[in-house]
Each structure stands twice: as structure tokens, then as C-alpha cells.
């Protein structure tokens, strides 16, 4: 057994977004145990989680950039009108907390936030899903990667 894999910028981004989820759920009156760093095996509403990343490349001011986009899900239960009211609260607080997440080297941007339904094998359960994009690195004259080659944390790109 070789031990745990070195941390990546995706690990750091997931941690920052999870911390924002904890604050979002706390603002709605729920405890930190309702926020999951990864998608839970069997979600129990109300709860939230950071889903799987998608990586993409683009350009900002003619400089190549790598960004991660990730769905951040907030799930509620209850009667339909109550679900919508809870989603309104979670959307408002989620927008504030997710845009303020301490991601490095750049801050996140919410591309979209909207309603969705999650099939939990029973009654329809509503959610709000934020598509959060986090720029991870830009190509400069210096080499930069998403993973450290020597086990040390990747240097931040200013």
C-alpha cells in the first residue's frame, strides 16, 4: 500500500465548496452533518453535496486557462409549496456563500442555478443545482499543473 494520493487543486476546490455548503445549510437552520463533500450514497433531505467535476480549457485575455465546473446540489423534502419556499432560501444563501468560497488561485463563478428533481425512489424531491465554475490555472511561461509532481502542493498561479 502506497498511502494516500497527493492533494490536488480539485481537492482544495471541493473543500472550499463544501465549506460554503456548510454555511448555506446553517443559514437555513440545518447542521453541518447535512453537507456532504461527495455525493452521498443515499441522500436524506434536507442536504447538499459537491458532485463530480468537469474540466475545460478556454481563454481569458488571450491566455489559455483550465477551469473546473461542478454541480453543487441542495436537496429539500416536504409538501410541494414548502419545498419551493425552502429552495428559495437555499438559492439565496447558496448564491452568496458559493460565490464567496475561498477557492485558489481564483474565485468561483456561478454559471447557472436552477431547480431540478432528484429521484430517491419515492416521492418527487426537489433540489436547486448550482453549476459552479472555478478557474484552476492559466498557462504562463512557468510550468503549472493540477497535481504536484513531487508530492508537494501545486504552486498557486498569480
Element (H, E) at 27: helix 9-27
pLDDT, position 77: 83
**pLDDT per position in the chain (158 positions), as tens?**
477 888 888 999 999 999 999 999 999 999 999 999 999 998 988 999 999 999 998 766 677 888 899 999 999 987 778 888 889 999 999 999 999 998 877 889 999 999 998 888 777 788 999 999 998 887 665 656 666 654 455 454 33
SS3 sequence, 82-149?
HHHHHHHHHHHHHHHHHHCCCCCCCCCEEEEEEEEEECCCCCCEEEEEEEEEEEEEECCCCCCCCCCC
The beta strands (E) that lie in 27-62 are given as: 35-36, 47-50, 54-60
**Cβ(60)–Cβ(138) below 8 Å:** yes
Q: Does domain 9-138 have CATH number 2.60.120.1130?
A: no
Domain ranges of the chain: 9-138
pLDDT, position 92: 95
Amino acid at each position: 500500500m502506497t498511502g494516500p494520493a497527493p492533494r490536488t487543486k480539485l481537492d482544495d476546490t471541493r473543500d472550499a465548496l463544501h465549506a460554503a455548503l456548510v454555511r448555506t445549510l446553517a443559514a437555513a437552520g440545518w447542521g453541518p452533518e447535512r453537507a456532504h463533500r461527495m455525493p452521498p450514497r443515499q441522500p436524506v433531505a434536507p442536504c447538499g453535496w459537491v458532485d463530480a467535476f468537469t474540466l475545460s480549457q478556454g481563454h481569458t485575455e488571450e491566455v489559455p486557462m483550465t477551469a473546473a465546473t461542478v454541480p453543487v446540489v441542495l436537496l429539500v423534502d416536504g409538501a410541494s409549496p414548502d419545498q419551493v419556499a425552502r429552495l428559495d432560501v437555499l438559492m439565496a444563501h447558496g448564491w452568496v456563500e458559493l460565490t464567496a468560497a475561498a477557492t485558489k488561485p481564483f474565485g468561483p463563478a456561478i454559471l447557472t442555478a436552477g431547480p431540478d428533481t432528484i429521484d430517491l425512489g419515492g416521492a418527487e424531491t426537489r433540489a436547486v443545482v448550482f453549476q459552479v465554475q472555478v478557474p484552476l490555472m492559466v498557462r504562463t511561461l512557468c510550468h503549472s499543473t493540477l497535481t504536484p509532481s513531487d508530492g508537494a502542493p501545486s504552486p498557486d498561479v498569480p
